[in-house]
Amino acid sequence: MSARIAFINARIVDPASGFDGPGALLVEDGKIADIGPRLFNDAKPANAEIIDCGGHVLAPGLIDMRVFTGEPGAEHRETLASAGEAAAAGGVTSFAMMPVTDPVIDDAALVDFILRRAAANAAVRIYPMAALTKGLNGTQMSEMGLLQEAGAIAFTDADRTIASSLIMRRCLTYAANFDALVVAHAEDPALAGAGHMNEGAYAARMGLGGIPSAAETIAVERDIRLVELTGARYHLGQVSCAAALDAIAKAKARGLPVSCSVSAHHLVLNEQDIGEYKTFAKVSPALRAESDREAMVEGVRNGTIDAIVSSHDPQAPETKRLPFAQAAFGAIGLETLLPASLSLHHAAGVALIDVLRHLTIEPANILRLAQGRLAKGAPADLVVFDAAAPRKIDPADFRSRTKNSPFKGRLMQGQVLRTMVAGKTVFQAT
């Protein structure tokens, strides 16, 4: 375990307690030993490493609920180690891993392998989500009980929607028996068809097949009805349009156990950011109209949206540097999650503590993790960052193995200075 470490001269922001103000924090043996606005006022702690935060923000490490990796099966795109390095550089101390691997994470032995492999090689905490259906084929339920016992934190078919309402109902019913979390991708496959971007006038001008936002809304409304039947805990992995968000808000108002995330790129970008067929901005769900993007920002502001995710999906150059219609969906995001989210604070007037709430305690509560809070006895998973530092996004500097960032060249604010996991520094800016 680590020695005593004292963070002083910090702006402590802890959404779990609602505290935002100057203070200090003491770490001992990988956990938070003490914290407070007047800690160390009289004298610096004995036998401790002193870290002067210079007035910058000290917050719980970020928790990302949606990360794709290439390992196992496609290590050229991303390994657990490289994803861990990218996460640490982005201030992310824990992330949930999607089961889209080769082989698919639908076997208890593979869950155990991922946990062991991540513990040995990754700088941050990695929690595998297991497949909701075997092989992600949408036709046969996975063995949720065995997978949960092996350590699966939730169940999802990742970027695929279970088309059969009967199969989805069975999955939710089975999950409810284990009090397991189901994380869904909502996009009616028949309506989405072979579309490549948001359906509308802009897609027509681009000459590209469109994906209507109704494909998402219809799938969300179906799933909500099934949650009503089964009582299962349901999380919408990514919401991208106003109508789907409205359906989630109404379900919450009825007391249903539903929650949702939005990706950072859906908070910052809209369909017109595709520009001249920029394939790095080809994501699923598609970037929507500006009115939908504004609705997502408002959803974060009013709390309808629970979490902000990176939706980190590394794709190799040979799958992205193609004509738009042939290019793969997906964008990386671990190293831009914080500055992209901070744009809500700088440009949309959302309080910093509220932005961080959706990156820390809210995902921690949904996943039932001990992290995401600054409290005595909590894991010392921390991030120190300069919220105002200007930067130009250059993926060439990223730790991720692939560089398919939709924010390339964009001016943002927010720079991670130090990331700590269990009392150990895993990233420090030079």
| Residue whose entry in the numeric block shows the structure tokens 């009967």 | 166
Cα dihedral 101, 106, 107, 113 in deg (nearest 10): 30
What is the pLDDT at residue 1?
46
What is the pLDDT at residue 42?
62
Residue 128 lies in a domain: yes
Domain total of the chain: 1
Residue 261 lies in a domain: yes
* 3-class DSSP string for 216-280: HHHHHHHHHHHHHHHCCEEEECCCCCHHHHHHHHHHHHCCCCEEEEEEHHHHHCCHHHHCCCCHH
Please give the chain's pLDDT, 430 residues, in tens. 457 999 999 999 999 999 999 999 999 999 999 999 888 776 677 788 999 999 999 999 999 999 999 999 999 999 999 999 999 999 999 999 999 999 999 999 999 999 999 999 999 999 999 999 999 999 999 999 999 999 999 999 999 999 999 999 999 999 999 999 999 999 999 999 889 999 999 999 999 999 999 999 999 999 999 999 999 999 999 999 999 999 999 999 999 999 999 999 999 999 999 999 999 999 999 999 999 999 999 999 999 999 999 999 999 999 999 999 999 999 999 999 999 999 999 999 999 999 999 999 999 999 999 999 999 999 999 999 999 999 999 999 999 999 999 999 999 999 999 999 999 999 999 8
For CA atoms 333, 334, 339, 343, give the dihedral sign. Answer: positive
CATH number at 213 reads: 3.20.20.140
Residue 241 lies in a domain: yes
**Under 8 Å CB-to-CB from 309, ≥6 apart: which residues?**
64, 65, 66, 237, 238, 261, 262, 263, 264, 333, 337, 363
Residue 169 lies in a domain: yes
Residue 393 lies in a domain: no
For CA atoms 185, 189, 195, 199, give the dihedral sign. Answer: negative
Residue 374 lies in a domain: no
Q: Which amino acid is at 217?
A: T
| pTM assigned to the model | 0.97
What is the pLDDT at residue 2?
53
**Under 8 Å CB-to-CB from 155, ≥6 apart: which residues?**
129, 130, 131, 132, 142, 144, 147, 171, 175, 180, 181, 182, 183
Residue count of the chain, please give it: 430
Task: Give the domain range for residue 196.
Answer: 61-367
What is the pLDDT at residue 38?
83
Report whether 400 contacts 332 (CB < 8 A). yes
What is the pLDDT at residue 43?
66
Residue 158 lies in a domain: yes
Residue 413 lies in a domain: no
Report whether 223 contacts 185 (CB < 8 A). no
Q: 70-75: long-range contacts at Cβ-Cβ below 8 A with a sequence spacing of 24 or more?
A: 70/101, 70/314, 70/401, 71/101, 71/117, 72/101, 72/102, 72/103, 72/110, 72/113, 73/101, 73/102, 73/103, 74/101, 74/102
